[in-house]
Amino acid sequence: MTTAGAQRLSTTLADDFAGTRALSCAIAAQLSDADATVQPMPDASPAKWHLAHTTWFFETFVLRDHVAGHAPFDPRFAFLFNSYYEAEGARHARDRRGMLSRPSLSDILDWRAHVDAAIASALPDLSPAARDLIELGIHHEQQHQELMLTDMLATFHANPLLPAVWDHPRPTPAPVPGAIGWIEGIEGIATIGHAGPGFAFDCEGPRHTVLLHPHALADRLVTNAEWQAFIADGGYRDAALWLSDGWAWVKREAVEAPLYWQREGAADWRAFALDGLHPLHPAAPVTHVSFYEADAYARWAGARLPTEAEWEVAAQAHDPAGGNQLDTAGPVRPRAAARSSSPHQMFGDVWQWTGSAYLPYPGFTPAEGAVGEYNGKFMSGQAVLKGASCATPRGHSRASYRNFFYPHQRWQFTGVRLAKDL
């Protein structure tokens, strides 16, 4: 590579790095030290921990391993803010992250500034391998930006006062759409998985062929109004609609509606979001539902969930940067199809559950080193979600992107698109 080419690469990477790091701080800017320390449940992490863990990633895998003479900002932080990297040694227990009253939020922000300056200074002389790790770290931090927003929502919902993180007026709700339409999918041999230029996580490849049977996908996401009909029809009380594990979960957890819904009177509902408690928007996509709920709803509707391959092949013709996604810090919430810039809401608003297990593609091999623990070791017992949500940083997702969660989890912006056999 020429010197000019290397300079252009460094400049672009430097801008992406700086922009990503700034957005994380902007998301947390509304929080007090106490807000940023609370951990509402083991699945969620404090905002302060997200800010610290993403900094640990850059300091460990870039500065420590690729910059001669780098000294850690505080050697104790490696134990506190490693997440699950066994190759990096012992770490603080995940379900105890909310006990870390120290270091303070301001201490974490000082650490971030120190690491950011060190990366910026080292970047022009870094090897291609180190630059690749910075790119991976940027995408890793974008994932944590979404997690930070959803974990903040869980944190503020756990407060009996139900405070808003951002308190902004809402627009007039869009009208409820008509009945779902159906778009016939491609039949026969198709190709999925990432290939070619551009970043992708290791689990998105190798690119490979799949066989698609006759099917159709819904032309939009399932709405809150449609979910209310499911509730009114006894959907949460009909064992015939549920997988065995799902029915056990419903009974054990006394589930009767999506997470963050609250009943007002006999039939009216309100929902809590990052801008507080508001009347439910009937036309907005339903969100904060588990795989179990999505599967039961699909069965109630006389349909099913799409397979990962069906969804990805359909999405290959769509712009992954379209739709309602995260551009700046502020309240995020799903919007009605009428207000989506992504045709058929393929991207944005909510992650879409598929009926596919999160498993390796044919020929998959994890990345070398500790970063190889990033995706591959979680390929057990989880379901794939596709698309992007209102909390996904724009430009982070793509058709081949594989999000994944356990079937009972629903604190993320997860929703439903229906499919059916033809």
In this prediction, residues 118-130 reach a mean pLDDT of 96
CA distances from 92 to 79, 99, 281, 306 (A): 6, 10, 40, 38
282 within 8 A of 175, measured Cβ to Cβ? no
Lookup: tokens for 6: 């290397």
Residue 5 has pLDDT above 60, yes or no: no
Domain presence at residue 327: yes
Same domain, 13 and 112: yes
* pLDDT over 80 at 7, yes or no: no
Residues 221 and 367 in one domain: yes
Number of domains comprising the chain: 2
187 and 134 both lie in a single domain = no
Q: Which residue has the higher pLDDT, 113 or 266?
A: 113
Looking at the domain assignment, is residue 169 inside a domain? no
Are 241 and 124 contained in the same domain? no
Here the CATH number for the domain that contains residue 44 is: 1.20.120
Stated pTM of the model: 0.94
State how far the Cα of 136 lies from the Cα of 353, in Å rounded to an integer.
25
**What pLDDT is recorded for position 196?**
84
More confident residue, 310 or 176: 310
Tell me, yes or no, whether 296 and 347 share the same domain.
yes
The answer on 68 and 24 residing in a single domain is yes
Q: Identify whether 256 is part of a domain.
A: yes
- Judge whether 168 lies within some domain: no
Of the candidates 124, 157, 190, which is a domain's last residue? 157
User: For 206-229, b where at least 16 C-beta lie within 10 A, e where not — what string?
Assistant: eeeebebeebbbbbbbbbbebbbe
Q: Are residues 132 and 278 in the same domain?
A: no
Side-by-side strand order, sheet with 215-218: 182-184, 215-218, 419-421
For residue 31, tell me if it sits in a domain.
yes
Structural domain boundaries enclosing 53? 3-157
To the nearest 10 degrees (0 to 180), the angle between helices 3-28 and 128-157 is: 10
- Position 340 scores a pLDDT of 81
Instruction: Check whether 384 has a pLDDT greater than 50.
Output: yes
297 closest CA partner among 173, 417, 136, 192: 417
Work out the pLDDT band at 2, boundaries 50, 70, 90: very low
Q: Which residue has the tokens 């594990």?
A: 245
What is the rounded CA–CA span in Å between residue 166 and residue 183?
38
Is 170 part of any domain? no
Residue 58 and residue 103 share a domain: yes
Q: Give pLDDT, residue 363.
A: 95
Let me know if residue 172 belongs to a domain. no
Examine the fold and report which residue of 140, 157, 174 is the final residue of a domain before the chain moves on: 157
CATH number of the domain to which 286 belongs: 3.90.1580.10
* Within a domain: 47: yes
Q: Same domain, yes or no, for 153 and 186? A: no
Closest by Cα among 264, 257, 259, 258 to 278: 264
* Number of helical (H) and strand (E) elements in the chain, helices listed first: 10, 12
Residues 347 and 274 both lie in one domain: yes
The answer to whether the beta carbons of residues 218 and 182 sit under 8 Å apart is yes
Give the confidence band of 257 by pLDDT, cuts at 50, 70, 90.
very high
Digit-coded pLDDT (tens) for 304-339: 999 999 999 999 999 999 999 999 999 999 999 988
For residue 11, what pLDDT band results from cuts at 50, 70 and 90?
Answer: low
Query: Are residues 134 and 280 part of one domain?
Result: no
pLDDT tens, position by position, 183-193: 999 999 999 99
Q: Are residues 202 and 332 in the same domain?
A: yes
Percent with pLDDT over 90 in the chain: 88
